[in-house]
Amino acid sequence: MMRIYNTLTQRKEEFHPLESGRVRMYVCGMTVYDYCHLGHARVLVAFDVITRYLRHRGYDVHYVRNITDIDDKILRRAEENGEPFSELTDRMIRAMHEDEARLGVLSPDEEPRATGHIEEIVAMIHRLIASGHAYEADNGDVYFAVESFPDYGKLSKKKLEDLVAGARVDVREAKRSPADFALWKAAPEGEVSWPSPWGDGRPGWHIECSAMSTKCLGDTFDIHGGGPDLLFPHHENEIAQSECATGHPFARTWMHAGAIRVDKEKMSKSLGNFFTIREILEKHPAEVVRYFLVSSHYRSQVDYSEDNLVEAGRSLTRLYHALRGVTPAKSDSVPETGHDRRFAEAMDDDFNTAGAMAVLHAVANEINQHRRDGEDLEARQSAAVLVRLGAVLGLMQQDPEAFFQADTGGELSAADIEAMIQARADARKARDFAEADRIRDELADKGIILDDSREGTTWRRG
């Protein structure tokens, strides 16, 4: 039985979806005003693995991940760039899709945009006003009345009185209570806006997720996920406005990925330790970055450093080394093994990818032992298991030679390396061993490792 840690109850619970065999999951996506950073990669990869494993377990998963394509940051950036906001968001969405594809992240089943659901947002706000949970302020904004929802704070465990006591109200706001939050923002003349019963404006941040998730998945669904910074106030506010608007419980299980730290410090632009996915992928292969993110439990804090990326590369290399020169048997011809069961036990325990990764390395060791013993069939069967389980984590799907020879932006292209290997072979044939050694050393200095065998010479980037 699968057990998932529920942020709402703060404990692991047996997972029973609302509909047998079907999982409905919503994850808060990106606000697309800039390139995705490492924290986004953490969330993208974490919920990609969760989706892959649920499907591996036989569930029909309907995975929805939204896009916030209208908010203050987007409008400010578009103004700075001197471009329409929609051009900025379209460009950033394309970049996001490129980044996630390189990281092996599967596309969600639905990817709704806030600007495409204004009608649903306005309808939900209208219901909240009609039921006394929201009000139109003197400045044209519409606010949710937090005190109208007695369960406010049940996700974050924050007390309303403490929030009210510590709140600071912007002079431009017209709230009745400092804890109230905007559902609709009146737009100044000339600013991007949509018509509504309360005047031209645009939606607040929180309401868009409530409107889109219920539109795509229903009033109540199985899993709601996101990054650690969204727990409060975003997810807390989603619960309040959704349950008041529908009269039903919102998400049954809440999941939050862990934070990213860089060299043991919080990642932030002010500290100069802020990295986009693109910057990292210029220096490290995408699968190595994915391995690094997957090797830690999704709820744990991840410490990003060059040393940790290098170690992730070494670990992934060991797995691919086990597959090198072995043709995996057809997966459907290899029955479930003890490795499959141990992998499932780890993943059933709140998606324990660290434990699952240990199983992959055990399988790799088994392949190496079969090869040493000359057991070709057994090696091929174990290789099939490694590829099969690796796929659940989004790993080990490349041809080993493609992995080892991937161009990571070094001095030498694959063609350059092959030419030097041929020159070395010619030197050895002419018994010019000094020249052969010189070529090998030159390649080693540039991070190219040669492996000689009876079948010939193979190479890999170190």
Residue ranges at the known binding site: 28, 209, 234, 238, 269
Task: Locate 395 and state its tokens.
Answer: 């790993």
Could you tell me the CA-to-CA distances from 367 to 53, 312, 354, 377 in Å, in that order? 24, 20, 20, 10
In terms of DSSP H, where are the helices of 147-262? Answer: 160-166, 205-217, 236-246
* Amino acid letter, residue 59: Y
Mark the binding-site residues for Zn(2+), compressed into ranges.
28, 209, 234, 238
Mark the binding-site residues for ATP, compressed into ranges.
269
Q: How far apart are CA 31 and CA 418, in angstroms?
A: 44
Angle at 128 between CA 124 and CA 131, to 5 degrees: 135
Task: Locate 73 and state its tokens.
Answer: 């940051």
Q: How far apart are CA 3 and CA 15, in angstroms?
A: 6
Could you tell me the CA-to-CA distances from 91 to 9, 30, 193, 216, 274 in Å, in that order? 39, 13, 21, 25, 21
Segments of 294-432 assigned E as strands: 302-304
In terms of DSSP H, where are the helices of 152-276? Answer: 160-166, 205-217, 236-246
Cβ neighbours around 160 below 10 Å, total: 15
Contact 312, 291 (CB under 8 A): yes
